[in-house]
Amino acid sequence: MDKIYLNEMEFYGYHGVLPEETRLGQRFRVNVIAETDFREAALADDLEQTVSYAEVYSLCKEIVEGQTYKLIEAVAEKISASILEKFSKIERVTVKVIKPDPPIPGHYHSVAVEIVREKHEG
C-alpha cells in the first residue's frame, strides 16, 4: 500500500480537561499517514485518481479548531473516522495528535496519542 504523509500540521484548539485549556486554548500538531494505492494517479499524473492533501489538511483543521473535546484521543478518533468516511480511496489511516504544551509540571517535549484505523468490508 502506498502512503501519503501530512506532517506536523499545526492548529489552535480548545481541547482538554482543565478549565484553562478550554478557555485559553493551545497549539496542537497533527500527523496523518493515509494509505491508498496511488499507482494509477502517479502514472497518469492525475489528482482525481488520488487524494488531495489540501482537502485532508482542511478536514483536520476543521476538526481541531471546531468542536471542543476533553481528550486528544477523541480528536484523533474524529479525524481518522472523518478521513475514512470522506476519502473513499483511503483504506487505512494513522493519526497522531500532539499537545506540545500541556499544563503538566515537568520537563518533556510533548504528549501525544496515535491511532490506526482502517476500512472494513461488509
For residue 51 the three cell numbers come to: 487524494
CB 12 within 8 A of CB 27: yes
Q: Which residues are tagged catalytic?
A: 99
Q: Which residue do the cell numbers 493519526 mark?
A: 95
